[in-house]
Structure 1
Amino acid sequence: EHNRFTPESSIAFKAGFISEPIINIWTKKLFEIIKHKFPDLECQKKKFQFISTIDIDNAFAYKGKGFYRTAGGFSKSVLKGSFNEVKNRILVLNNKLSDHYDTYKFIREIHLKNNIIPKVFVLSGKYGKYDKNVKLSNPLFRNILKELSEFCEIGIHPSYQSSFKQGGMPSCLKEELQNLESVINKKITISRQHFLILNFPATYRRLIESGIKEDYSLGYSNIVGYRAGTCSPFNFYDLLLEKETELKIYPFAFMERTLRQHLKLTPIEAEKIISENIKEIKELNGLFVSLWHNESLGDVDYWQGWKLVYEQIFKLTK
């Protein structure tokens, strides 16, 4: 799907260790063996790290969509018989109900409370089949982004079109970067691909050419697993050029949609998986990267109960 590499195609999946950060495990065991033979040998110890990341694929559920998208939304809801959705849309548009994708106040509060600077990746590409965010020209969205930039590190969420249009042209990505930078008035150096689309080595080369220093796209969308077999960041090595680059890759093991949408877990079941994952990474002094979306923190309908799961992450990572 979406021309993505599937976990089933990986050696790790076929060998049964895809859910383990095998490189970190082997490294730890290897050092223990060497340490046994050379007791005086010391190893530079790393500390457990937690990076909180959030993707904004769609800034609002109802607000800021413009006349045609709003009219289309009403029509779609009516045809589906979702009259409660029609009612909620009317209430939100008349400022009588909060837009349930507008979770930015909560995002600010929980990160400031825990003294953590989150990384927020914003989809800024043109509207398309798979790119449906609110336009950057929308005043509401612009204000949100400016407020977020005060306590977050804003990153680019390269559009679906930027990966496939004309083979993924650097100019498309650069335009999206420039548009987003003009809103927050800051240089952007971090990225996560929309739909986690990675084409090797083209995607990473494009990011490097566009001035990106860190990428957070390496992971699977449908399972809990380590695509590179590690829970530690590393520099991208371009095999075709036989060259280590300055682009640092930050892998993740899962996102909230993996647990809710693909694995069909309840919030309680998801919390157990997250707790076990964090515990293992702590034992290996690795890096835990959380991946959530603004809409999954709305605590309504499909995402009812998941806000509490998110809050638990901050307790587990202390």
Structure 2
Amino acid sequence: MVHIYTPLTSPRLNYVLGVIFRDHLRVGYRVYTNPAELPEEGLRISYSTEDLGVGLWIPASRALENGGPALEAMRGAGPSAAVGSFDLFGAVFFCLSRFEEYLPTAPYDHMSRYEPEGSWAARNGFLERPLVDEWIVALGRALGLPVAAGARLFASYDVDQPWCYKHKSWLPRSGRWMEQWRVLSGRARDPFDNFHWMDSVNAFLPEAPVYFFPLSARRTAYDKNPSPGLPAYQELIRAHGARYPVGIHPSFYSAASDLLASEIEVLNRITGLPVTISRFHYIHFRLPSDYRLLLELGIRADYSMGYGERNGFRASYSRPFPWYDLLRETETSLQVIPFCWMEATSYHVSKLSAEAALAELLSYKAALDRVGGRFTPIWHNNSLGLDPRWIGWRKVYYDFLKAFVPTLPL
């Protein structure tokens, strides 16, 4: 049991203490507003503006006051800051609440997505580090609590386009018409159809991977999935729903045009299962409106907390955490599942070779190994097969999995 004194009580503080002690360190805790009531022995923390000389002191800023300036908590915060030298509770809240995305100066790109370069973590050179994990681990060690080590893998796949040629009309592509003809005539496998191989490696993973399927009823520049009415597409989704957790991949315009409810309904009708998980296509979402919409539509976990244009930890945290609605000052039931790496970002944006991408993946694993973090990468079915643009990337994924599962067969 951890005994915490603070003159401050607020929904923000309750939220942070729950994430740190209940969810991460998995230890009981009790809050006292009268220092005289603190036990004389045991694990004690004083969260106040002055050091009372009682247990571990964490200096408090105004970050956890309702409506308070959470940015204040980041003074002195960083990977080298010692526990007790900055407002650790406030800094955790700043990162997890995504406070900076609500600021009037928050930068957004042409897709109306929050730009990673404007974030505190990127500007200070810490985007590639799970700082919240590091802070909580340091706090646990300062209290003498056991802390986990070794990263845990939770694979995930976005099936933006299940097939390159199959189930499409004959429209010869420049330089690839022969491949297209061979696929459509049954002489070759579709280069995007890598689901059998994915199944073969999934069987060895410690946790079942999750799949996200888009069900846009209209084709746009961003949404190129098959028609939701295509029997082959429905069968593919149904087969995966029978083996893995399956979620909705909301189309690019779905939230803004009130289409998300119908897309969720179609996925429910295809699988016969409730739809409770999501990941926004192109990581195209805004806070708080789109997360509120997910809750209204019965989504209980969202896997979109990351960036489409740069790999790294958007919330500086690797583990699931409840979403805090900053404008309503309340903790919600929506679980946020962060990701820190997507192969499309390494390939299309960072222009990495397959070898460099593997090195990048393993560097993230090393960072998460140190804090017992959760690694939830994003892969797409089309990058894991015979498409000439992705030659060598299946081996990247295999070698990455091998680092988690040494018994993975050749």
TM-score, normalized by the shorter chain, greater than 0.5: yes
* 1:47 positional shift: 6.6
User: Paired residue for 1:297?
Assistant: 384
Q: Distance in 2 between matches of 1:164 and 1:60?
A: 27
User: Paired residue for 2:28?
Assistant: none
Q: SS in structure 2 opposite 1:164?
A: coil
Q: Distance in 2 between matches of 1:108 and 1:115?
A: 13
Structure 1 residue 13 corresponds to structure 2 residue 105: no
Structure 2 gap ranges (5+): 1-109, 406-410
Q: Distance in 2 between matches of 1:24 and 1:44?
A: 11
* 1:207 positional shift: 0.5
Native 8 Å contact 1:299 1:306 kept in 2: no
Question: Larger Rg: 1 or 2?
Answer: 2
Native 8 Å contact 2:325 2:331 kept in 1: yes
Q: Distance in 2 between matches of 1:279 and 1:286?
A: 10
* 1:291 positional shift: 0.3
User: Paired residue for 1:151?
Assistant: 243
| Residue deviations 1:253-297 (CA, integer Å, cap 9, x gap) | 120011111111111111111111112102101110010001011
Structure 1 residue 42 corresponds to structure 2 residue 145: yes
- Superposed counterparts of 1:157-176, under 5 Å: 157-165=249-257, 169=258, 172-176=259-263
- Superposed counterparts of 1:1-318, under 5 Å: 1-32=110-141, 34-35=142-143, 41-43=144-146, 45=148, 48-65=151-168, 70-71=169-170, 73-74=171-172, 77=173, 82-83=174-175, 85-126=176-217, 127-165=219-257, 169=258, 172-318=259-405
* 1:45 positional shift: 4.4
Q: If the length of structure 2 is used for normalisation, what is the TM-score?
A: 0.69
User: Paired residue for 1:38?
Assistant: none
Q: Distance in 2 between matches of 1:227 and 1:270?
A: 19
* 1:128 positional shift: 2.1
* 1:114 positional shift: 3.1
User: Paired residue for 2:18?
Assistant: none
Of the structure 1 ranges 22-31 and 116-125, higher mean CA displacement relative to structure 2 is found in: 22-31
Q: Distance in 2 between matches of 1:125 and 1:146?
A: 17
* 1:46 positional shift: 7.5
Native 8 Å contact 1:297 1:303 kept in 2: yes
What is the letter of the counterpart of residue 231 of structure 2?
A: P
* 1:28 positional shift: 2.0
| Residue deviations 1:216-273 (CA, integer Å, cap 9, x gap) | 0011122221111111211000011111001000111120011111111111111111
Q: SS in structure 2 opposite 1:113?
A: coil
| Residue deviations 1:53-89 (CA, integer Å, cap 9, x gap) | 0001111101112xxxx24x32xx2xxxx23x11111
Instruction: Give the ranges of 4+ consecutive aligned residues of structure 1 lying more than 6 Å apart after TM superposition.
Output: none
* 1:129 positional shift: 2.4
Native 8 Å contact 1:189 1:213 kept in 2: yes
The percent of aligned pairs where both chains have the same amino acid is: 30
Native 8 Å contact 2:323 2:335 kept in 1: yes
* 1:117 positional shift: 1.1
Q: Distance in 1 between matches of 2:200 and 2:183?
A: 23
Q: Distance in 2 between matches of 1:120 and 1:8?
A: 29
| Residue deviations 1:68-127 (CA, integer Å, cap 9, x gap) | xx24x32xx2xxxx23x1111112111111111111111111111335411000000122
Using a 3 Å threshold, how does the CA distance of structure 1 residues 213 and 47 change in structure 2: closer, same or farther?
farther
Using a 3 Å threshold, how does the CA distance of structure 1 residues 115 and 46 change in structure 2: closer, same or farther?
closer
What is the letter of the counterpart of residue 136 of structure 2?
A: T
Using a 3 Å threshold, how does the CA distance of structure 1 residues 60 and 95 change in structure 2: closer, same or farther?
same
Using a 3 Å threshold, how does the CA distance of structure 1 residues 237 and 280 change in structure 2: closer, same or farther?
same
Native 8 Å contact 1:124 1:159 kept in 2: yes
What is the letter of the counterpart of residue 185 of structure 2?
A: N
Q: Distance in 2 between matches of 1:47 and 1:306?
A: 25
Using a 3 Å threshold, how does the CA distance of structure 1 residues 271 and 47 change in structure 2: closer, same or farther?
closer
What is the letter of the counterpart of residue 50 of structure 1?
A: L
Q: SS in structure 2 opposite 1:120?
A: strand
Native 8 Å contact 1:108 1:151 kept in 2: no
Q: SS in structure 2 opposite 1:162?
A: coil
What is the letter of the counterpart of residue 7 of structure 1?
A: P
Structure 1 gap ranges (5+): 36-40
Q: Distance in 2 between matches of 1:44 and 1:22?
A: 15
Using a 3 Å threshold, how does the CA distance of structure 1 residues 28 and 260 change in structure 2: closer, same or farther?
same
**Aligned residue-pair number:** 295
Q: Distance in 2 between matches of 1:297 and 1:116?
A: 20
Using a 3 Å threshold, how does the CA distance of structure 1 residues 295 and 21 change in structure 2: closer, same or farther?
same
Using a 3 Å threshold, how does the CA distance of structure 1 residues 113 and 317 change in structure 2: closer, same or farther?
closer
Of the structure 1 ranges 108-117 and 280-289, higher mean CA displacement relative to structure 2 is found in: 108-117
